Amino acid sequence: MILDGKAVSNKILENLKNKIEENNIKANLVVILVGDNPASQVYVRNKKLTAEKIGIKSTVIELPVTTTEEELLNIIRALNNDDKVTGILVQLPLPTHIDKNKVVQVISPKKDVDGFSPENVGKLAIGLEPYYYPATPQGILMLLDEYNIPLEGVDALVIGRSNIVGRPMAQMLLKRNATVTIAHSYTKNLEEKIKTADIVVSAVGHKVVRCKMVNKNSVIVDVGIFRDSNGKLTGDVDFAVVSPSVKYITPVPGGVGPMTIASLMYNASKVYH
Ligand code: NAP
């Protein structure tokens, strides 16, 4: 069965729109874009359009690639102190002369809608409630919950250990009482681990999950998104051959991608004062 991220995302966005309207929520998201990376420009535009569609005010601050680290940090400090701004998002990747670790340390945890600040990451790591969970893993859990896929006690395998997907995904599955294994490029016998897992979340960026590795009860969540040699968008999983052999699977595109947007909008609609 296909886990339809697009449909679930639309439903979440519709519910959020109603909630924002009914409760007169005054959310105001500021997105900062440094430089002119074309992919980032598209992502930022989409975030702004989606936010506005559901009633979240959204402003994009476009900064030239020559912006210094200190200039960017000062802009974020000013936004932290602006009561009208409820969410701050700095689009990644940043130009190489700006250290993203310094940026995430400056954003106020109460406005850190990406959930990347040390306070939010630390709270998640020690089992506390962060102000915001990172959008992609939170979106994945929203999708699994929508299909009533149980997490308690299941063997979950997370492939990839990035700060934006793999690590928080593992923490969040652990918080939901799954038994979690994290695989990465040094992992031995990955095939065996995939075969025996109840849930596999793959966030790698190249084909790692093939047909002979899965079982008929597997739930496969494909986070990867990249272009194959023919320029076609694809994921980490060999979808055509794997999908008939498993219980649930997310497509690419139309799976985790739209859920990330819905989850980010859920975060952007949260207002802390
Ligand atoms: P990343 O920073 O690129 O890291 C990739 C991870 O995969 C690393 O932890 C790496 O291990 C691991 N890895 C590489 N080769 C491997 C192999 N053969 N076996 C097992 N693990 C391996 O990851 P990311 O930023 O999380 O992105 C991963 C993919 O998800 C990309 O395609 C990205 O575009 C996509 N993505 C999609 C969304 C969405 O909303 N759909 C959101 C975020 C990311 P090491 O740590 O040992 O190097």
Q: Give pLDDT, residue 218.
A: 96
pLDDT in tens, 58-78: 999 999 999 999 999 999 999
Give the CA angle between residues 79, 83, 89 to the nearest 5°.
40
Residues 234 and 228 sit within 8 Å (Cβ to Cβ): yes
Is the pLDDT at 211 greater than 90? The verdict is no
Q: How many CA atoms lie within 13 A of 272 on its CB side?
A: 14
Q: Out of 4, 112, 114, 222, which one is annotated catalytic?
A: 114
Average pLDDT over residues 221-231: 95
Task: Give the contacts of 218 (CB within 8 A, at least 6 positions apart).
Answer: 194, 197, 198, 199, 200, 245, 246, 247, 248
Is the pLDDT at 241 greater than 80? The verdict is yes
Q: How many CA atoms lie within 13 A of 234 on its CB side?
A: 16
The answer to whether residue 114 is catalytic is yes
Cα separation of 65 and 87, whole Å?
A: 23
Domain with CATH 3.40.50.10860 in the chain: 24-108
- To the nearest whole number, what is the mean pLDDT of the chain? 97
Q: Is the CB of 46 within 6 Å of ligand 1?
A: no
Average pLDDT over residues 150-165: 98
Domain with CATH 3.40.50.720 in the chain: 135-257
5 pLDDT band (50/70/90 cuts)? Answer: very high
Q: Regarding the domain with residue range 24-108, which homologous superfamily does it belong to in the CATH classification?
A: Leucine Dehydrogenase, chain A, domain 1 (3.40.50.10860)
Cα separation of 155 and 96, whole Å?
A: 38
Greater confidence (56 vs 212) lies with: 56
pLDDT in tens, 173-203: 999 999 999 999 999 999 999 999 999 999 9
Q: Is the CB of 251 within 6 Å of ligand 1?
A: no
Q: Give pLDDT, residue 136.
A: 98
pLDDT in tens, 96-126: 999 999 999 999 999 999 999 999 999 999 9
Q: Give pLDDT, residue 76.
A: 98
Q: Between 3.40.50.720, 3.30.2290.10, 3.40.50.300, 2.40.50.70, what CATH number should domain 135-257 receive?
A: 3.40.50.720
Residues 262 and 268 sit within 8 Å (Cβ to Cβ): no
pLDDT in tens, 13-40: 999 999 999 999 999 999 999 999 999 9
Between the CA of 54 and the centroid of ligand 1 the distance, in Å, is 30
212 pLDDT band (50/70/90 cuts)? Answer: confident
Specify the amino acid at residue 154. Answer: V
Q: Is the pTM of this model over 0.95?
A: yes
Q: Give pLDDT, residue 273.
A: 82
Is the pLDDT at 133 greater than 90? The verdict is yes
Q: Is the CB of 205 within 6 Å of ligand 1?
A: yes
